[in-house]
Structure 1
Amino acid sequence: MAAALHAADARSTLEAQLWRFMRSRRSSGGHRSGTSTSRSTTIVADDMAVVASRLKGRIMTTLHSGDGSGDDDLRRFREADKIAALPGQPGGVDFDQYGGRVTVDADRGRALFYYFVEAPRHEAASKPLLLWLNGGPGCSSLGYGAMEEIGPFRVNNDSKTLCTNKHAWNNVANVIFLESPAGVGFSYSNTSSDYESSGDEKTANDAYLFLINWLERFPEYKGRPFYISGESYAGHYAPQLAVTILLLNAHNNSKTIINLQGILVGNPLLDNYWNSKGLIDYFWSHGVMSDEVFENVSRNCGYSNNPDTDDSASSSCTDAWHVFDKGEIDPYNIYAPVCVDTPQGAYYPSSYLPGYDPCSDRYTSGYLNHPEVQSSFHARPTNWSLCVNLTWKDAPDSMVPTLIWLISKGLPVWIFSGDFDAICPLPATRYSIGDLGLHITTPWRPWTAQNEVGGYVQQYTGGFTFLSVRGAGHAVASFQPERALVLVNSFLKGELPPNAEE
């Protein structure tokens, strides 16, 4: 029986998770590492042997665990994972889908749940493999990524039926949605202390072990071009998993060489200091914060002086923030409607925004808690929630050194930002990019989707690419699904998105 874990409040899950995490990092009293020469806790040149040694035993154990080690066992597990149909799904589905769990630590009974959606059957063999990771940390890639963003279906407001997402990313790739780390969604551990020791390093290790075991179950994807994508705290997850893959590919301790071709992360948390500064800059520049509060927070939290000095854990900083009142808006899209609760327990959107429903979290939670839905996904019966509260043990203050290392290895790194998000806002990402110390190769220019500006793009030495998505919030594909599809298609082709004016 999997150990129990406390679920976050479903009515404010995403906002609560990242706010809670950012506050915890501030209260820890850590200071910003600040420059591109800072050392990431993830990488130095000698880490190759360390990473390989740490995972070697677990690689062999998980490959020969109860998930099956022979070809017949693997075929049996794969067939057992195949989803005949999800309850309430629309007709005309022309792709295969799978759901199940993969053991990543047999001794502790830790397993990660995945939902895999192939491209249309006549195209699946020619399309790359893409892994999607939602952040939090502690939020579900199945609930957010698959059901509200880039998956093939969206949940209707009856919480029982699904509709087609015509801009799903399995139009251009075979997509794995991974619920990570253990404790999130349908992923679990039989050892309760695992939930008290979550962190960046263990999450990257488990995700790597998941991948090599999953590839044994789906061997036709071995050697297939592979990409990592995600949003928010995936600004940590994706680069760190990429590092682990590249180090172990080079060390060759596993027979499985993962053909990693790039990472794509939206509205990422990259640097604690710059994200906090970017957040107040965004609130002020978009008319949500007054001049007086902006000046007071900037002065007391250390954002107006030396950027190497972070006073965000001080009591004066906390007091300055307490004066700020953003009102009943969604900071993940400051221009979007919100979901309104009534005293009777009902809820409804505060206003209408074409293609977006702020109450989607309720529909998704209702759907994924139906026993027949959980059974169709081949998940353990679970009190499923969009996010859970995990005790987080390790996280670098800045991912900038990690990105520099990846770029130096020739890995394409693309970062995109929905320009209506205040939580991991576009200015914060720009500040972090400045720390990379790269030269511009393609100046800032518009890119288009359906004959209008979809956003703006700039490219740098080493192929590093930064894009904005116009009119999108934190979960870009929830607000601008067509623009998100244009973006990922360009990324997979290795081409900048088109500009119709050229």
Structure 2
Amino acid sequence: MAVFWYTLLFSCVALVHVLPETVGADKSQREREADKVVYLPGQPLEQFGFQHFAGYIKLRPNDEKALFYWFFEAQNDVSHRPLVLWLNGGHTGHKANEGRKKREEKGEGPGCSSVAYGAMQELGPFLVRNKGQLIYNKYSWNKVANILFLEAPVGVGFSYSNKSGDTEKLGDSITAEDSHAFLIGWFKRFPNFRLHDFYIAGESYAGHYVPQLANLIHEKNKGAKKGYSINLKGILMGNAVINDPTDQPGLIDYAWTHAIISDQLHRNIYKDCDFKSNISTSQCTMHIRGFLEAYSGIDIYNIYAPVCLSSLNKAAQKLIVAPRFFTQHDLWHKLPSGYDPCTEDYVEAYLNREDVQKALHANLTKLSYPYTPCSNIIRKWNDAPDTVLPIIRKLLNTGLRVWVFSGDTDGRVPVTSTRYSINEMGLKVKEEWRAWYHKQQVAGWVGTYVEGGLTFLTVRGAGHQVPMFAPDQSLSLFSHFLSNTPLPSSHH
């Protein structure tokens, strides 16, 4: 009898110790199952061998923020593939950077969705076409990785806060903190991915988001409790805003070298505009207006691509992120912009459909505003450094892999800007600038640097959204980035 009571007591004690972990695992499994996307309206009829999930992660017990995500498992070998977070950037149109000292004019203002752009126009497995039809993207990045798309900060896409004042307090720092909190919550829901190699990738204003989030992860990993460390291995950024002082002359020089502006206008801008001090004279203002007028009939994001004629007169919010010399002009906001704006219109219509939102477990709180690819409710951006180059250098010194790529027909964050920015870092060259190949054709050019493993490359003929304009080449560069192997140096 004593043995019986001892055994019973031991079993109860063991149950007390196991129960919380079991309950937590059961809760995560229930939440995962609830987030599983079973069918998307308009999706192709063929069967796909991967699962995908969408839903919300509440950031903290004591706040009202919830960020929306869409996660695609890899198409094969899920348990051994890395996990990659994709972030999109920002646009202008709101009074941004109000907290930046001596800069009250309109400037860089994030607020665009990685679901509307990254997932549904660029690198996700399902791309939106006219009349709500989806096509399968044979160059989807989930061919080689598990891909997680996040709409951040709150106010972007389906992400929200029940506390209205939260959208007035946004900036780079809060976005990084909230994105980190999201990742901690997401890993609790998907614990099987906690030990996977983790990378952060993005484009445009994600040139701020990506390194700042990577830096925060690095710092928080130092004192992280068990289960809260993130296995960060590297970052990848495309056509990225990383250094204001070089972004502006890079923008001007690109337009001049591509015969968009005249020799005279190029000289006048440099004579009358002081990009270092950001002090604009009336003469400078006149020259910048001339610069903008030169772009008024073409797509600044891909200077050789046709524009969507039905969108020419629509002053829509696009993925524009600009220094104040340009955004103070109303004409800037009326430029044809946006990687086939017609496709963007299709995506917006699709994500506003009730059946689509139901399938994605989105808009559960019935937001008071329609879905837009770029947020119309973020009206203040309280902090954004002029440069993230010191952060990139710090990340290189920690041993993280850093690749930066440029679609070379993008006039908005052109290859000249990125080249000037990287040159500012004064890194020692490891491998000289050379062509890289894909399918026996030159796909672009690449160079590498000694310090920490920085790689800088171009994608030939691609605009701002590289995976949209060069899907095959972008999948190749992404695969080489993940495997940390050099891009092919010949057409064999």
Q: State whether TM-score is above 0.5.
A: yes
Q: TM bucket by the smaller chain?
A: 0.7 to 0.9
1:61-89 Cα shifts (integer Å, max 9, x gaps): xxxxxxx9822222111110000011111
1:343–1:315: structure 2 CA closer, same or farther, 3 Å change rule? closer
**What is the 5 A alignment of 1:303-342?**
309-324=276-291, 325-326=293-294, 327-341=296-310
Is it true that 1:486 corresponds to 2:476 in the alignment? yes
Calculate the TM-score normalised by the size of structure 1.
0.81
Is it true that 1:367 corresponds to 2:323 in the alignment? no
Any stretches of 5+ residues in structure 2 without a counterpart?
A: 1-21, 91-109, 315-338
Deviation at residue 270 of structure 1 after TM alignment: 0.5
Deviation at residue 104 of structure 1 after TM alignment: 1.3
Deviation at residue 342 of structure 1 after TM alignment: 7.9
1:187–1:344: structure 2 CA closer, same or farther, 3 Å change rule? closer
Equivalent residue for 1:155, pick from 117, 122, 128:
128
Is it true that 1:178 corresponds to 2:150 in the alignment? yes
1:245-268 Cα shifts (integer Å, max 9, x gaps): 111111225632110010000000
Q: Which residue pairs with 1:117 in the alignment?
A: 72
Q: How far apart, CA to CA, are the structure 2 residues paired with 1:300 and 1:361?
A: 37
Q: Contact 2:311/2:341 (CA < 8 Å) preserved in 1?
A: no
Deviation at residue 437 of structure 1 after TM alignment: 1.5
Any stretches of 5+ residues in structure 1 without a counterpart?
A: 1-67, 304-308, 346-355
- SS for the counterpart of 2:156 is coil
1:342–1:191: structure 2 CA closer, same or farther, 3 Å change rule? closer
1:192-223 Cα shifts (integer Å, max 9, x gaps): 11111111000000111111110010011011
Equivalent residue for 1:126, pick from 68, 71, 80:
80
Deviation at residue 180 of structure 1 after TM alignment: 0.6
1:441-490 Cα shifts (integer Å, max 9, x gaps): 11111111111011011000121000000000000011000010000000
Q: Which residue pairs with 2:237 in the alignment?
A: 265
Q: Which residue pairs with 2:413 in the alignment?
A: 424
Q: How far apart, CA to CA, are the structure 2 residues paired with 1:482 and 1:186?
A: 30
Equivalent residue for 2:53, pick from 73, 98, 114:
98
Deviation at residue 315 of structure 1 after TM alignment: 4.3
**What is the 5 A alignment of 1:186-335?**
186-253=158-225, 255-302=227-274, 309-324=276-291, 325-326=293-294, 327-335=296-304
Q: Contact 1:115/1:142 (CA < 8 Å) preserved in 2?
A: yes
Is it true that 1:146 corresponds to 2:100 in the alignment? no
- Amino acid aligned to 2:287: A
Q: How far apart, CA to CA, are the structure 1 residues paired with 2:472 and 2:371?
A: 29
- Amino acid aligned to 2:358: S
Q: Which residue pairs with 1:497 in the alignment?
A: 487
Q: How far apart, CA to CA, are the structure 1 residues paired with 2:280 and 2:180?
A: 34
Is it true that 1:472 corresponds to 2:459 in the alignment? no
Q: How far apart, CA to CA, are the structure 1 residues paired with 2:437 and 2:342?
A: 29
Q: How far apart, CA to CA, are the structure 2 residues paired with 1:388 and 1:342?
A: 18
Q: How far apart, CA to CA, are the structure 1 residues paired with 2:420 and 2:235?
A: 20
Deviation at residue 320 of structure 1 after TM alignment: 2.2
Q: Contact 1:300/1:311 (CA < 8 Å) preserved in 2?
A: no
- Amino acid aligned to 1:367: Y
- SS for the counterpart of 1:107 is coil
Q: Rg bigger for which structure? A: 2
Deviation at residue 359 of structure 1 after TM alignment: 1.2
Q: Which residue pairs with 1:443 in the alignment?
A: 432
Q: How far apart, CA to CA, are the structure 2 residues paired with 1:344 and 1:192?
A: 32
- SS for the counterpart of 2:240 is coil
Q: Contact 2:433/2:447 (CA < 8 Å) preserved in 1?
A: yes
Deviation at residue 323 of structure 1 after TM alignment: 2.6
Identical aligned pairs, as a percentage?
A: 46
Q: How far apart, CA to CA, are the structure 2 residues paired with 1:376 and 1:138?
A: 24
- SS for the counterpart of 1:186 is coil
Q: Contact 1:146/1:152 (CA < 8 Å) preserved in 2?
A: yes
- Amino acid aligned to 1:318: T
Q: How far apart, CA to CA, are the structure 1 residues paired with 2:306 and 2:148?
A: 30
Q: Which residue pairs with 1:376 in the alignment?
A: 359
- SS for the counterpart of 2:372 is coil
Q: Contact 2:274/2:280 (CA < 8 Å) preserved in 1?
A: no
1:396-445 Cα shifts (integer Å, max 9, x gaps): 10111111111111111100000001111101101110111111111111
- Amino acid aligned to 1:365: E
Deviation at residue 157 of structure 1 after TM alignment: 1.1
Q: Which residue pairs with 1:403 in the alignment?
A: 392
- Amino acid aligned to 2:133: T
- SS for the counterpart of 1:252 is coil
Q: How far apart, CA to CA, are the structure 1 residues paired with 2:167 and 2:128?
A: 29
1:134-162 Cα shifts (integer Å, max 9, x gaps): 0001000000000000000111211x220
- SS for the counterpart of 1:70 is helix
- SS for the counterpart of 2:130 is coil
- SS for the counterpart of 2:54 is strand
Q: Which residue pairs with 1:77 in the alignment?
A: 31
Deviation at residue 301 of structure 1 after TM alignment: 1.5
How large is the Cα RMSD of the aligned pairs? 1.8
Which runs of at least 4 in structure 1 moved beyond 4 Å after TM superposition?
A: 312-315, 342-345
Q: Contact 1:311/1:317 (CA < 8 Å) preserved in 2?
A: no
Q: Contact 2:441/2:491 (CA < 8 Å) preserved in 1?
A: no
Deviation at residue 496 of structure 1 after TM alignment: 1.7
- SS for the counterpart of 2:234 is strand
1:348-391 Cα shifts (integer Å, max 9, x gaps): xxxxxxxx854100111111111000010000144110001421
1:406–1:300: structure 2 CA closer, same or farther, 3 Å change rule? same
Q: Which residue pairs with 1:16 in the alignment?
A: none
